[in-house]
Chains A and B, each alone.
Chain A
Amino acid sequence: MGQLAEPLPSTVSDEQQKQDNTTPIKEATTSEKIQLHIDEVTLKFPTSTGTDFTALDKVSMEVRENEFAVIVGPSGCGKSSLLYLTAGLNSPTDGEIKVAGKVVDGPSAERGMVFQGYTLFPWLSVSENIEFGLKQKKMPAPERKKIVQKYLKEVGLENFADRNPKQLSGGMKQRVAIARSLANDPEILLMDEPFGALDSQTRMQMQQLLLQVWEHSKKTVVFVTHDIDEAIMLGDRVFVMGARPGRIQKVLDVNIPHPRTLDMVMEPDFISLKREILSLLHDDLSEMH
């Protein structure tokens, strides 16, 4: 709980390190309550050679209520696998995952997920997509309409309510996907490289939009990315993963206040964090060879 940043590598001055450690880690809105509890989770896939492939090896992590947690790691290190396990779309070989105190044993509307690929239902309009989860809950129509309206506005798509997903740009599609998950008011929002397919301009816009939405909703978010800038831009804490087998190497606090802006990437705090994450990922890569 309340993990502090571990000592930075020699590239960062001791002074700066002290500064980092003395700034308050917790934001006023982040509670001490643990919302996501991943306990020694191992995931193995059977292979044709007979020996199992270990995608995740005893991964443990905790995410606080209302926290924006980012998992960063190279492609293939098991980020998606970890999110799918958390969503309940797959079961761990070993270990346990709890969300809001309940053991995950299958998918549920309490664990919303935004996927890397576009997963809007193409036969439904934008507002019907957002309404989908509410209909599953058998919520009465007037209430549904109100919530749909709220989230359409939240992601800035009021004028696109009746469009078909096919008529939307990639960024708009992901905005609908975010709205669709949030409309369900889940206990946690899982995001698997949701901006990975977008061009860098759109991607930065989406990051800003997501931060705004998060500040309004104060959901617990677990956001997966392989983009270090994105990780620091968004996260309260960054969980740095390593590959083969997939594991959490280190947890870093991002002590950069909100609202975060695009020019933040030039600031020393940002750069030193980026350097640390880069070196962690780099060392992990070179160990493999």
Chain B
Amino acid sequence: MSSKQVSFKQLTSPQEELPKKVVLGAGTLSWIVLLSSWFLLSASDLVPTMFLPSPMDVLSTGVRLAENGTLFEHMWASIQVVLIGFIVSSMLSIPLGMLMGSFKIVQAVLEPLVNFIRYLPVTSFVPLFILWIGIGIEQRVTVIFFGVFFQQLVMISDVSRGVSKDLLHAAYTLGTSRSKVVTQVIAPASLPGILDTLRVTIGWAWTYLVVAELVAATSGLGYISLKAMRGFQVDVIFLAIVIIGLLGLLTDQFFRVLRARLSAWAN
């Protein structure tokens, strides 16, 4: 195995880099362990199939639902909810967060409120949203928005506040006005941090999906897994979980690549 070239000392030294091969191998290993334990556990008699389907069952359910088209319909419904909620939230939180990080007065006005709201559990607002907004897609989007927006706001304002004052001073002595300094210095300097924030928070957006589709949804991955619960179709629940995970991974990688492309200077 490739780990032959790696000494015990290297593995146990804090912050020591490892060869790429070893890192990839370790990641693959944990997946193999997880999948094979799942396989063995479902093949044994320890857990009834009713509670734990085998990986093959989940796969064939996936193929079946993909063939009759329902899988993509539900995936698309969920993707819409997450993306609309996330995009609307980001479009507001990026400018507002930058203002909050740039101007102490904006921070003074918003921060106490935001810090209160962001610790409220999103689930506790679902009944309220239903009363206010109804049971359409708007309600589901609102749940995602609410789960993500206030966190983004705080994280992005921290990023902007962290921009070195020396850079601002340099820009001033080069003829940049106070208002322009926000767009010409604070914005580009914040970009890597903002992309990091988006990458982290899109993950959270996916975690709110099932909560968003908990009530009154008629399609979506959260919806089919709730329906499957009532019909004891554990394989469908597993399928929904796996697909949400994969979609989350995909969006995560999207932001990883975007960050590497747009702000290579910060790497």
**Interface residue B176 (Cβ < 8 Å from any Cβ of A):** yes
- Assembled-state Cα–Cα distance A108/B171 (Å): 9
**Interface residue B180 (Cβ < 8 Å from any Cβ of A):** yes
Q: Are A123's CB and B191's CB within 8 A?
A: yes
Q: Are A132's CB and B174's CB within 8 A?
A: yes
Interface centre among A89, A115, A122, A164 (most CB of B within 10 A): A122
A181/B173 contact (C-beta < 8 A), A115-B166, A119-B166, A119-B167 known: yes
Q: How far is the CB of A242 from chain B (nearest CB, A)?
A: 26
Q: Are A113's CB and B175's CB within 8 A?
A: no
Interface centre among B166, B172, B174, B184 (most CB of A within 10 A): B174
**Interface residue B8 (Cβ < 8 Å from any Cβ of A):** no
- Assembled-state Cα–Cα distance A181/B169 (Å): 12
- Assembled-state Cα–Cα distance A169/B23 (Å): 32
Mask, B159-191, CB within 8 Å of A = 1, is: 000001011011111111000100011001101
Nearest residue, chain B, Cβ from A183: B174
A87/B173 contact (C-beta < 8 A), A122-B265, A122-B266, A123-B265 known: yes
Q: How far is the CB of A216 from chain B (nearest CB, A)?
A: 21
**Interface residue B42 (Cβ < 8 Å from any Cβ of A):** no
Q: State which residues 241-267 of B face A: CB under 8 Å.
A: 263, 265-266
Q: Are A112's CB and B265's CB within 8 A?
A: no
Q: Are B166's CB and A123's CB within 8 A?
A: no
Q: Are A89's CB and B174's CB within 8 A?
A: no
Nearest residue, chain B, Cβ from A189: B173
Mask, A84-127, CB within 8 Å of B = 1, is: 10011100000000000000000111011101010101110000
Partner of A112, one of B164, B167, B174, B191: B174
Q: Are A123's CB and B189's CB within 8 A?
A: yes
Q: How far is the CB of B176 from chain A (nearest CB, A)?
A: 5
**Interface residue A282 (Cβ < 8 Å from any Cβ of B):** no
Residues of chain A within 8 A (CB-CB) of B166 are 115, 117, 119
Q: Report whether over half of chain B's contact residues are helix, strand or loop; otherwise say mixed.
A: helix
Q: B interface, how many residues as a size bin?
A: 20 to 34
- Assembled-state Cα–Cα distance A88/B167 (Å): 15
Residues of chain A within 8 A (CB-CB) of B265 are 122-123, 164-166
A109/B174 contact (C-beta < 8 A), A122-B266, A123-B189, A123-B263 known: yes
Residues of chain A within 8 A (CB-CB) of B189 are 121-123
Residues of chain A within 8 A (CB-CB) of B191 are 123
**Interface residue A137 (Cβ < 8 Å from any Cβ of B):** yes
Residues of chain B within 8 A (CB-CB) of A117 are 164, 166
A89/B175 contact (C-beta < 8 A), A121-B188, A123-B189 known: no
Q: Are A109's CB and B173's CB within 8 A?
A: yes
Q: Are B175's CB and A136's CB within 8 A?
A: yes
Partner of B169, one of A89, A132, A166: A89
Q: How far is the CB of A125 from chain B (nearest CB, A)?
A: 9
Residues of chain B within 8 A (CB-CB) of A132 are 171, 174
Q: Are A113's CB and B188's CB within 8 A?
A: no
Partner of A121, one of B167, B169, B172, B180: B167
Nearest residue, chain B, Cβ from A136: B175
Residues of chain A within 8 A (CB-CB) of B184 are 136
Q: Are B167's CB and A137's CB within 8 A?
A: no
Q: Are A133's CB and B169's CB within 8 A?
A: no
A112/B188 contact (C-beta < 8 A), A119-B167, A121-B167, A166-B265 known: no
A136/B176 contact (C-beta < 8 A), A89-B169, A121-B167, A123-B188 known: yes
Interface centre among B164, B172, B175, B266 (most CB of A within 10 A): B175
Q: Are B170's CB and A109's CB within 8 A?
A: no
**Interface residue A180 (Cβ < 8 Å from any Cβ of B):** yes
Q: Are A137's CB and B170's CB within 8 A?
A: no
- Assembled-state Cα–Cα distance A122/B175 (Å): 18
**Interface residue A174 (Cβ < 8 Å from any Cβ of B):** no
**Interface residue A184 (Cβ < 8 Å from any Cβ of B):** yes
Q: How far is the CB of A91 from chain B (nearest CB, A)?
A: 13
Nearest residue, chain A, Cβ from B170: A119
- Assembled-state Cα–Cα distance A107/B184 (Å): 16
Nearest residue, chain B, Cβ from A113: B173
Q: Are B266's CB and A113's CB within 8 A?
A: no
A113/B170 contact (C-beta < 8 A), A133-B175, A136-B176 known: yes
Residues of chain B within 8 A (CB-CB) of A108 are 173, 175
Q: How far is the CB of A162 from chain B (nearest CB, A)?
A: 12
Residues of chain A within 8 A (CB-CB) of B171 are 121, 132
Residues of chain A within 8 A (CB-CB) of B172 are 87-89, 107
Residues of chain B within 8 A (CB-CB) of A123 are 188-189, 191, 263, 265-266
* Interchain Cβ contacts under 8 Å between A and B, 8 examples: A84-B169, A121-B170, A121-B188, A122-B265, A123-B188, A123-B263, A133-B175, A181-B174
18 more A-B residue pairs beyond the given contacts A107-B173, A115-B170, A123-B263, with a C-beta to C-beta distance below 8 A = A84-B169, A87-B172, A87-B173, A107-B172, A113-B170, A119-B166, A121-B171, A122-B189, A122-B266, A133-B175, A136-B174, A136-B175, A137-B175, A165-B265, A166-B265, A177-B170, A181-B174, A184-B175
The 5 closest A-B pairs by CB, nearest first: A109-B175, A107-B172, A133-B174, A119-B170, A136-B175
